[in-house]
Every structure is written in C-alpha cells, then in structure tokens.
Structure 1
Amino acid sequence: MPGNDLLPEHHGTIITRTLQEWACLFPQDLPFRTVERLLSWQTQQPKVISRSEVSVLVKRHGDMIRAAEAKEVEQWEDQSDLSKFQVNLIEAKTPRHRAAWPIELTAAVEQALATPNPKAPEGVTNQDWQRVLQARNNEAACWPAEKLRRLGPEIQPEQTIAATDDILVRQPEASKWLTIRVARIATTKGFRYLSATGSLVLKQLSLMLFFCAGLNGWVTLLGYALPTSPEVLTSKRLEVS
C-alpha cells in the first residue's frame, strides 16, 4: 500500500481500499502486467503490488459481488408483501441522444419540412423522421432542424424497459470463460443495473420487473442472442413488447 514503509513491523501486505478498487477497475480494459506498472507509477512505489496480487484481488472482489447479489435476491424473496417493496433506482436524467443525421443534411431537412407533405430526405431513417414530424405537430413546431436532429426514443409513462446481455470474462485456465449475465431496468423515474451468473440474474430481473411494472404493466424487453464462442462476433437482436 502507499506509505507501507511507514507502518510498524507486520506480516504480509496491507492493501488500502482505494488501491484494491484501482486494482479491480484497471483490469477491465488493461492486462495485469500494465495494471502492475500503472499502480507503481501512481503510488511512486515500484513494488507496491504484483500481477498475481492483482489477479487475486479481482477474483476475491468478484466472489464478494456474486455473494452480495445472491443475498439481495434472498432478501427480495423474503418480503412478505412485495407490493409494498420500494425499489432503489438511480434518478433518471434527460438523455443526450446521438445525431439522427449528418450535419450536411440539415439544409435538406429544413427544405423538406417546408413542403406541404414532407418526406424524409435520403439519409434520414423513417423512425427519426416520424419523431421529427411528431415534434413539429406538437409544442416543438418552432424548433430549428438542428435541435430536431437530437431527438430520440423516450420511455413512455407506465413503461418499463429491460435490456439484457452477456459478458464473457477470460479465466486463468486456457480457453476457459466465465459468463456474467447483466441487465438494465429503466423507467421514467430512474434505472438500475443488475448482474449475476447463471439463472440468478433471471430471478433478479423477474423480481425487479414485478416491483417496477406489477402484474399488468407495459414491459419492453431488449435482448441479444449471443453465441457461446467469443470468437464469433455476430449477434441477433430480439425485441419483445
């Protein structure tokens, strides 16, 4: 740990919580060898932590997260009255949508909107054009084309959106992978991320959907049917409303 030389005599290495967090976050994008060097530069101590210690920390913290996920599901299932359970969501903010068309097409969009029966110019998708027409017919009739260019899909009142995916994590053994299943629940009030291994994430997802949408709510599921082999990069999108 930083300042380890200032501590009295002790056995083993004492690693601060911040250093543990760095050691677990950096390997998401970098190999262990690079993480070892970066942490040495950051702490100004060449031997502050080794590659093997980084690997052990990542595995240990992963096990802690998996245990916390399982405990949370048990707490949810132990609720006597799920209808009164309050879901902790991260507060939703106004999304920043990507541009619907290149800036070069703005003049063509303005010209098209000036006609009696506007048609989408080439390069503008039908979905984006429908949002533009709807905005022009409502309170945004005076919006310039540049502002309309940043429109995007919005979560509707009483709608809950669930998105699922898989993350493949390389194991120490050759050709071994750990599959982490992740999901994101979003409503007009907020959102929350879920993660677990195996079928545990399905329990999380089903309980969260019940908490957010109830038995008769409007749920839109966005999922990806991913191949088992990480070398295959193609995917198929599945949408269920």
Structure 2
Amino acid sequence: MKYALVTGASRGIGKAIAIELARELKYNILLNFNSNLKAAMATKALVEAEKVHCELLQFDVADAKSSENRIVEFQKNNPDAEIEVIVNNAGITRDGLFMWMKPEDWHSVINTSLNGFYNVTQPLLTAMLKKRYGRIINIVSLSGVKGNAGQVNYSAAKGALVAATKALAQEIGKRKVTVNAVAPGFVNSEMTANFDEKELKKLIPLNRFGEAEEVANLVSFLASKKASYITGEVININGGLYS
C-alpha cells in the first residue's frame, strides 16, 4: 500500500493537503497530529470518504525519540506499506519582538518547524532512496523567504528549512527523490485568524487571503509524477504579495 505522511494534518493547511492527496492521487494517508484528537478524527473521516485508508499517528514532531518510535512502530506493523510522499507541514508560531523574545519561544518554534523536518524525514529517507522514488515537500512560509517583523523565530525556522530543501535536493536527486518547498502567504486558517485581513489584503495584488485548498492543490501537483523534473524549488503561493 502506498502512503503519504502529512505532519500537523488535523487542521488548516495540513488537513486540506491530506484530503487532496487522498482525493487527487489516491494515496492512503498517515495523518500526524500532536494533541487535538477530536480534530484528527474529523479529518480522518473526510480522508476516508475519498475511499482510501487513513491512519492516525500521534506524536510531537519536535520530539525526536517519539517521532522515530511512532514511525518505526507503523513500519513494523505494516511491512507492505510504502511511504512515497512526506509533507512536512507541522509548525507553530510564538510571535513577538526579538528584543523581548523568551528562550522557550525561540526554541519551541525552531524545534517544531526545523528539527521536526529532520525528525520525520531522516528515518524515512533510506527506504525512498532504495526504491528510487519519493516526494518530500516542505511547507515553509512567506516569512521564511521575505522575513517578517515580529517573527524572527518563525522566519529563522522557515528560512533554514528553505536552505535544507535546496541542499537535500542536490544530495538525493540522482535517486529520483525530489525535494521542494511551498511558501504560502496569508492563508485563511487558525494561524491567521487574528490577523487584520481588511488591512493586509490591501498589500496583496489579488486583494484577498488564500485558501488552504489552494495550497493543497499545489502540494498535490508536486507530489505527483507530473512534477518529476522539479526539485530544489521554493514555490511561492501568496497572491502576488512577494516573489
């Protein structure tokens, strides 16, 4: 059975990606979430409505041991499962001016977005390389390519993930495993719920926030065989705000 693993997939962009990969590419879904079981169960039902299997994997991507244990446990219990797609979507924000930023707000954001990429991807990479096929897609951010005041920690984490995307793509391209990043701008989700949309959309040429499903459509393309000659790229999806 072929699977796509999506981290942070119980809500928002991750949820939309999981559903789209099931609908469009018919992947069975490994749905990672950290704490919100109710939301994860609701997303699982929507994924399985697309006539594929969805398995919940509860772990904090920032916790290396927990991440590895859950992944290894799944592989042990499902020896016929092939994880062809990894979408590193899990991320958190702890916004505030850098001069007043607490150490825990710095480290928690770095640990989730950047270390989470390592903790999830590295244990799965050998199997992809042996099979000579795979898709690794990292969800970064406008903050990671442009920088954003009040988000030095988030910009640092996502900017580092952009660099990691480009470097890993060069390492493993010969094995036909692609690595790309998707950088959303302002997208309607819980993460942007407190943003002043009326003011911010004035800065956006398309004059609106994006929808999670629009990001999911791009991720689905990159996860497909149609994107076989695209690797090491960072694709902005921000309504023209920045390129």
TM-score between both structures, scaled by the size of structure 2: 0.25
TM superposition score normalised by structure 1:
0.25
Which has the higher relative contact order, 1 or 2, with Cα contacts under 8 A spaced 6 or more apart? 2
Q: Which has the larger helix fraction?
A: 2
Greater Rg by CA: 1
